[in-house]
Every structure is written in C-alpha cells, then in structure tokens.
Chain A
Amino acid sequence: MINTPFLTLIYREVLRFIVLYKQTIMPGIISSGLYLVIFGHALGSRIGSINNIDYIHFIIPGLTMMAVINQSYANSSSSIMQAKYLKFIEDYLVAPVSGFELSMSFIIGAIFRGVINGILIILTCWMLTDFNVHNYSLSLFFLIITSCVFGAIGVIIGIISKSWDQVGVFGTFVFMPLSMLGGVFWSVDMLPKGWQFITILNPLYWMINGLRYSMIGISEIPIMFSIIISIIFAIIFTIIASVMFSRGYRIKS
C-alpha cells in the first residue's frame, strides 16, 4: 500500500528547498567555486601535493563534504524551526503519520538537498579542474549517508532550539570547527601527534575521508571503517530524531 501521507510530507520538504533554490542551492556552489579558486589555484601551487595528489584535487572532496553538511543540516533545522515558529508544525503532528515517518520525511528532504548540492559542486569542480571521480556509487553513498547524519542532527537541533540563534550557534560553533578540523584542507599526517588523536575522534573526519577515497581514490584510513562509522552515526541520530518526534519532546505539551 502506498503511504500517501509520508510521501506527501517528503514531497513538500523537497519542493520547499527547490522553490527557494537561490538560498538553498546557489550559495553552496558559489562558495565552493570560490574556495577552489582561492585555496586550490592560488594557494595550492605553493602547498604542492599531499600523498602524491595535487592539493587542488585533495580539497575537492572536503569542500563538497563541507557544503553537504551545511546544506543538509540547514534544510531540516530551518524547516522545523519555521514550522514551529509559524505553528504549522501542528499540521504534521495531527496527520496520521508516526514519529519515525515524520523525522524521516525531514531527513529525506535534507538528503535530497545535500546530495543535489554535492553533485552540483562536484560538477562545478569537474568543470574548473581536470579531475575524475574514482568511484561513483561509493561517492553517492557518502553524499547520502552524510546528508542523512546531518539531516537527522538538523531535526534534533530544530526540535530543541527555542530560537534561530540557537540553530545558528550550533552551525558556527560545532559544525564549522568540526569540518575544518576534520581534514577538509589538509591531511591528518600534517598535524602534531596530539591533534591527530583529537581528529580521529571527530566523526566528520571519517566521512570526509570516505568521500575523499570515493572521489580521488586515496584514504588515510581503511574505507570500511569510514563506511561502518558513518552508518552507525546515521542510525543513532535517526533514532534520536524519531524518538523526539514520537514523544513530542518540546513540540507537544
């Protein structure tokens, strides 16, 4: 049987960011293009290569991942915040759907936005440099699983936050440092030993490495670890988001 309520919720989520493409799709492509030009072309020639890969190619997966993380998180967190702020979240809560279906509809919306952004950024990089994707299906897997993790985190933060500030604070003070320290622009070998240990504890490091392997064929860590750790994070955060919706934490009284 087709689950029309669930499919409609997903359809609305996807259509929402497509309608707002100037805010949801264009900025990621433009900022990634700028990073590529400045860090890749202008500074990259002075850095040389990392693990025998040109610096400009080395940073493409990191840039892609940074955009995917930001966009998927922004999609679900802002969608929930707006629905809470304007109270139309009540339309979802009275619909005949489970907490799991509700959270999945926001997460799937975030996955679509993350993956579309990721693919368009990869295409932009492909046009600006001479790189080819090493493994397409594994790249798609990492785009999906990362969007899922951060879409779910967006749901959680969207539910918890009482103001837009709180949503923004999380992006600035948690995601930005984690993605910068997760190896977007450099290899973990380039860091002092103490920082290397801290980096390994950063979940983003594993995802960025996973995508880096899928896109350019090099990895500092076994790819299986990246896959398993990413899946575990996706499951954990999806469960937390679903439980919050089911129990109505901060959204039902």
Chain B
Amino acid sequence: MDSMIQINNLKKTYSNGFNALKGININIEKGKFFGLLGPNGAGKTTTIGILTGLVNLTSGNVLIDGYDVIKDYKITRRMIGLSPQEINLDVFFTIKELLTFQGGYFGLSLSESKKRVEKLLYDLGLEDKVNAKARELSGGMKRRVQIAKALVHDPELIILDEPTAGVDIELRHLLWNSLKEMNIKQNKTLLLTTHYIEEAEALCDEVAIIDDGKIIAQGSPKELIKADGESYINITVNKINENILSDYNIDINENIIKITSKNPEKDIPNIINILSESNIAVRNLNVKTASLEDVFLKLTGKNIIDD
C-alpha cells in the first residue's frame, strides 16, 4: 500500500536548546486512521507543525504522498487540512466568510468554496450560524468551525490536533462518527493526536506512542494491548489456599484473589478448574481487561490525562 506520510529520522531542536524530536520514524499508509499519543511536551504538536509548515525541522525529512514538505510545500500543503488544538478563528468575518477564505487559501475558487462551506455547515449542524462571528459562538460550535476549517478544501490528509478537547460527550460522539465516515466512506487518511485514549481506541487503525521526542511503540491498538497490556482478574472466593495458583502472578487481599494476566480468555477457564478441583467456591468474578491507557502508562510511566 502507498504511504501517505513518511517521516524519516526527524529531529527538531528549538532555539532554546530543547530537543523536541530525537529522530522519529513513522510511516502512515493511505486510508489509515492514525493516532499519535503522548503526554504533553512529548513532541506531537511539533511533529504536526513540521508536516504542515508551522515548525521548521532541524534534520531528517517528511514526505506527503511522496512529496517533500519543504521542497514541494505548495503540493503537500494543498493535500493537508489542519485543525489546530487551540481555537484560532478570524474575528473580523462571519463563519461563512472565514471558511470561504479558508477554501480560497487552498486553491478553491470563491464560488466553489462557498458551495463547500454551505454543505459543511449543514453537516456540522451550524447552518443557522452562517452569519455569526466567532465570538458569538459557544465553545462546542467554535470547535466545529475549527474542524470545518480543515475540511473546506476536501484534503486527502486530515490532521486533527486534539479535536475533542473541551467538547461535551454528545458532540464528541458526533465528531467521532463524522471522522470515521470520512475515513471509511471517502477513504481519507486521518492523523489524530489526542489526550483521550478511548478516542484513539475507538477511531484509530494504528497508533504510535511518542514520549520525550521518541516513538516508543507503534501498531494497532489490539497489537499494542496484546504486546504490553495486562488484564486483571478479580475472584472472590470462600476460602484461600495460597499455593494452588502458584503458576500465576497473584495478589491476595482477604478472600479476593487478583490475578494479572496477559490473556484472560485463556486463563479464566483454567483458574476456575483449578479452584473447583480444590473445592474452593467462586462467589464473584470480574475482569478488568487491558486498555491502551494501561499500555501507555506502562510504556511512558506517565498518566496521559494528568500531564
């Protein structure tokens, strides 16, 4: 499959000497929904900035659909739609005007851009706000306009930096659905950074975990969970016999046995068998399956949300 984004040994040192990226390599195939996860200051926004032209790279190179982001910037930038994390809406014009200009900046004629904008505003439920200015909108509406800005020129590659930060659950799910639809029905490539690991798990085919300017893991959420995730099986029993589950990594607290397992589907039947053979009755059993969040915590040693 063809690559949409190829990042090769990308390094970025800021003028204050901070090494934001220490030689990262990422390959994102066309049509993928890719998530870049990492704590604050890990290098996510720097990476996106280099892709889009907001940040000058120090060394390495980045290709978008085979074109270099520096040498062929006029080609690559037309392919990209960016929704930055911080709301940055032009305050002088109405929503319709600013989105129409946005289309124009990326090569759409103003009449073509107007048509696209009308459809987008309708799709995003903003049709009655076309003549409002940014400061008259609620936070959720501003976020929708911010995302609409990335979509006006119908780009092949959509880059979303924390698209659902500060958004209520209802809108978050609405945005998830429309992003997923763009990925599946229109075959767009999406690159997303997020603090909500649940979001990455729900949307992304593939994720990369970035920490301290380095990619520390990459793969599908399932693969990463399988490789580094640990589930917990909590069993409440009528009596305890510490020796019988010696093959497992267990932790006993009164009459609750907590078993750490990489493969709970396989382990649970075996454990039940062992317990029943020893005449130990199971009163309660619950499983906390491994999540991408656990993998993240294990690999980075940091909790993504607290950062």
User: Which of A's residues lie within 8 Å of B, judged by CB?
Assistant: 4-5, 7-9, 11-12, 15-16, 19-20, 82-83, 86-88, 90-98, 247-248, 252-253
Contact = CB atoms under 8 A, between A and B. Distances in A.
B91 A86 contact: yes
Contacts of B14: 253
A12 B56 contact: no
B73 A86 contact: no
A91 B88 contact: yes
A7 B105 CA distance: 8
Contacts of B106: 5, 95-96
A12 B88 contact: no
A93 B54 contact: yes
Interface stretch (B75-83, B165-173, B254-262): B75-83
Nearest to B76: A96
Given A91-B149, A253-B14, A16 B92 contact: yes
7 contacts: A11-B104, A19-B93, A90-B88, A91-B88, A91-B105, A93-B53, A96-B75
Nearest to B88: A87
A248 B107 contact: no
A16 B101 CA distance: 12
A96 B88 contact: no
Size band of the interface chain B makes with A: 20 to 34
A8 B56 contact: no
A159 B209 CA distance: 35
B291 interface: no
Nearest to A95: B105
Contacts of A97: 74, 105
B88 A8 contact: no
B88 A94 contact: no
Nearest to B86: A87
B53 A94 contact: yes
Nearest to B49: A253
A152 B119 CA distance: 38
Most buried by A among B80, B84, B105, B106: B105
A253 B77 contact: no
Nearest to A92: B105
Given A4-B109, A11-B104, A91 B90 contact: yes
Contacts of B141: none
Given A7-B104, A87-B88, A91-B90, 11 more contacts: A4-B108, A19-B92, A82-B91, A88-B88, A91-B88, A94-B52, A94-B82, A95-B105, A98-B74, A252-B56, A253-B15
B92 A8 contact: no
B84 A96 contact: no
Interface in B83-113: 84, 86, 88-93, 101-102, 104-110
B245 interface: no
A104 to B, nearest CB: 14
Contacts of B137: none
B56 A5 contact: no
Interface in B22-53: 49, 52-53
Interface string B258-291: 0000000000000000000000000000000000
A93 B80 CA distance: 13
Contacts of A248: 56
Contacts of B75: 96
Nearest to B51: A94
A9 B98 CA distance: 11
Nearest to A19: B92
Nearest to B107: A4
B132 interface: no
Contact of A8 (B54, B91, B101): B101
A96 B104 contact: no
Given A4-B108, A4-B109, A97-B105, A90 B92 contact: no
A9 B102 CA distance: 9
